[in-house]
Chains A and B, each alone.
Chain A
Amino acid sequence: GNSVTQMEGPVTLSEEAFLTINCTYTATGYPSLFWYVQYPGEGLQLLLKATKADDKGSNKGFEATYRKETTSFHLEKGSVQVSDSAVYFCALKAQGGSEKLVFGKGTKLTVNP
């Protein structure tokens, strides 16, 4: 079945450090790929998405590129801020068929000043 694997957390960085959170997926065809973020005490929010191979999603300084050849969608940010502290979830929606999102387990990021 379809699945998403993302790097285990927690991840702790200093402000202005470079961030990478790895995400790989298993699915047939060309799923849509998403990164959601959950800030402390808040609900899930869509951070960025990509719907076809080689697309790059970007938002708030975060980027992720849909790599079909490596079935990956790694999240990156060049310079993190304290306000980026949150839990990040990688997710996919399969091509055709079900409308459900399949999520990774989440990666907790803490950014220290």
Chain B
Amino acid sequence: GAGVSQSPSNKVTEKGKDVELRCDPISGHTALYWYRQSLGQGLEFLIYFQGNSAPDKSGLPSDRFSAERTGGSVSTLTIQRTQQEDSAVYLCASSLQAGGREQYFGPGTRLTVT
């Protein structure tokens, strides 16, 4: 079956612009996660959704970052007024439900802020 998909695969943007990153989880997966992978910081958790609610937003690095999930499916991560330090690979993962189940990762969106 289809895995987690993310779009775009690559995004180059100018400093100060807003960007939207999209994640389509595996059908039927109720839990969705965003992580960021950068050279300096490794893999960092950003936010977790259960259904359309986000019980854990503790990893969002600043108020320029926000995310939403609609219909218990697609999620969008928005970064406003991008900075160079936002350059990273943004990974989305989903799992059948919360509680230690395997998280299936998408291929990521590589964001470059120039």
Contacts and interface: CB of A to CB of B under 8 A. Distances in A.
B48 A44 contact: no
B68 to A, nearest CB: 18
Nearest to B102: A46
Interface string A8-41: 0000000000000000000000001000100000
Interface stretch (A62-70, A73-81, A97-105): A97-105
Contacts of A103: 42-44
Contact of B105 (A45, A102, A104, A105): A45
Q: Which secondary structure dominates chain B's binding surface?
A: strand
B91 interface: yes
A20 B69 CA distance: 40
Interface of B: 4, 31, 33, 35, 42-45, 48, 50, 55-56, 58-59, 91, 93, 98-100, 102-108
Given A51-B100, A93-B100, A100 B105 contact: no
A98 B105 contact: no
A45 B3 CA distance: 11
A100 B48 CA distance: 7
A46 to B, nearest CB: 5
Contacts of B100: 32, 51, 93
A44 B33 contact: no
B105 A99 contact: no
A100 B99 CA distance: 10
Contacts of A51: 100
Contacts of A42: 107
Given A44-B91, A105-B42, A99 B102 contact: no
A7 B99 CA distance: 28
A104 B41 CA distance: 10
B53 to A, nearest CB: 12
A102 B104 CA distance: 15
B43 A99 contact: no
